[in-house]
Structure 1
Amino acid sequence: MKSNGDCHVLPDAEQLYVTVTEHLLHLADAAIAARGRFHLALAGGNTPRRLYERLAALDSADWDRWEIWFGDERCVPPDHPDSNYRMARETLLEHVAIPPEQVHPIIPHARFEPEAAAADYADTMSAHLPLRAGWPILDVVLLGLGPDGHTASLFPGTGILDVQDTPVAAAYVPRLGAWRISLTLPALAHARQLIFVAEGAGKSEILTRLLRGPAAGESPLPAERVSNPHTEWYLDAAARGSA
């Protein structure tokens, strides 16, 4: 992580999520003061669940100024148990006063086609977000880390890693036998802030690999290919391990 952003190590998972929650609120307040809106892209998977529950328990926030986006999505209907949107809805969105029209699911209905859904989401981002050189600009993107070094749905060996002309793309992941839709590397590069969150001893091996960097003949992992000078890593001590 030394070569890919600042790293903050917290003693345990509870303090990790307290710290990330406080930091998100600070970034939200700053964005709202500067531009009147806070555009946040949520991460999927299991890691952010406790963060979303903590956000949902806040006494107050300028929820009417928050706009919610998604960093990636499984290609399932929005009420499916595997849907990132469903997890975010159940843990956060149902409990806070963000206007429904300011929540932007990647897959908003049961009928979809992955590549068309990706193109529609790219169009939605361009229509609602500030633009810089034609690229939509998110204030913060939350990111997790998979044991294979993937982040969002940018998996090793998939063609989406080479996409340079759109902020959102669909990718078939052979080892999962499934389609995913994800922000692309250029979309992450144009965000104002990236926040990686990793928890638990199960993440220590891949974090050690990320710190070491690619060995001779190895390709960079997807998380290593994320290039944004405004990147922060938040880890608990178990995830940090000996990395």
Structure 2
Amino acid sequence: MKDGARCHTLADADRLYAAVADRVIALAESAVAARGRFHLALAGGNTPRRLYERLAARDDTDWNRWEIWFGDERCVAPEHQDSNYRMARETLLAHVPIPASQVHPMIADPAIAPERAAADYADALSAHLPQQAGWPILDAVLLGLGPDGHTASLFPGTPILDVLDTPVAAVHVPRLSAWRISLTLPVLAHARHLLFVVEGAGKSDVLARLARGPAAGEPPLPVERVSGPRAEWYLDAAARGSA
């Protein structure tokens, strides 16, 4: 993976999150100027925490024009410690004046079946976002990278990778014995910007695998099916390694 317009390697995590925060604010300004709203899908997991804390300290954006979505979610209550919504609320959403009606959690009631919750979220995206060729268009999607090549909740070998007719789907991840809800490949392909944020030496092996590409007969990793001309990669030096 070579540095360039679409791949940025920062010396350390502090510089990494500063650069991504600057990029998100710039994309917000551009989207608001062009369309009056900034539709951003947040990533979950541990990596984005420091990014969200940095964004929460910014006062150079019109938070009232932001609409917050989520790239994926665990099928747990919003107050559960594993909830991506809870993490985003504690690190970002509770500290900025985005109207509550413009924050769209994936899971409002964990008693609802995952498939129903996914269908409801797909309907919400379609109702609120601009459309292109029948697909809702997000302005930006923040994404991480797992050591197995997954991003959002698009895990290797799971049937959600074959879902091509809806922007959101539920998936059972056998190795986690858990249900997740995730944006699907087509809606990610239609997003205006995909920002991959990757930190730490634990990601260097999968980045090296991405740099060389799949071997003969080896299926592409989920992230390889997502990444494309709209993708921007932000890495710290430890993650980059020799990739």
Q: TM-score, normalised by structure 2?
A: 0.97
Distance 2:224 2:100 in 1: 35
8 Å CA contact retained: 2:143, 2:195: yes
Distance 1:44 1:113 in 2: 21
Match of 1:206? 206
Query: Offset at 1:213?
Result: 0.7
8 Å CA contact retained: 1:188, 1:228: no
Q: Identity of counterpart residues, as a percentage?
A: 76
Q: Structure 1 residues 54-63 or 161-170, which shifts more?
A: 54-63
User: Does the residue aligned with 1:165 lie in a helix, a strand or coil?
Assistant: coil
Distance 1:60 1:79 in 2: 29
Q: What does 1:130-141 correspond to in 2, within 5 Å?
A: 130-141=130-141
Matching residue's letter, 1:224:
E
> Can you list the C-alpha shifts for 1:155-179, whole angstroms capped at 9, x where unaligned?
0000000100000000000010001
Match of 2:220? 220
Match of 1:79? 79
Runs of 4+ in 1 over 6 A off after TM superposition: none
Distance 1:172 1:209 in 2: 26
Match of 1:70? 70
Distance 1:135 1:48 in 2: 26
Match of 1:174? 174
Match of 2:118? 118
User: Does the residue aligned with 2:175 lie in a helix, a strand or coil?
Assistant: coil
Distance 2:172 2:109 in 1: 20
Query: Offset at 1:227?
Result: 4.7
Distance 1:55 1:211 in 2: 30
Match of 2:152? 152
Matching residue's letter, 1:101:
S
Distance 2:134 2:160 in 1: 19
8 Å CA contact retained: 2:214, 2:220: yes
8 Å CA contact retained: 1:40, 1:67: yes
Query: Offset at 1:111?
Result: 2.4
Distance 2:161 2:23 in 1: 29
Distance 2:237 2:129 in 1: 36
> Can you list the C-alpha shifts for 1:32-75, whole angstroms capped at 9, x where unaligned?
00000000000000000000000011134200000000000001
Matching residue's letter, 2:165:
D
8 Å CA contact retained: 2:139, 2:191: yes
- Mind listing any 5+ residue stretches in structure 1 that lack a counterpart? none
8 Å CA contact retained: 2:75, 2:110: no
Query: Offset at 1:109?
Result: 2.6
Distance 1:79 1:113 in 2: 18
- Mind listing any 5+ residue stretches in structure 2 that lack a counterpart? none
> Can you list the C-alpha shifts for 1:124-152, whole angstroms capped at 9, x where unaligned?
00000000111000000000000000000
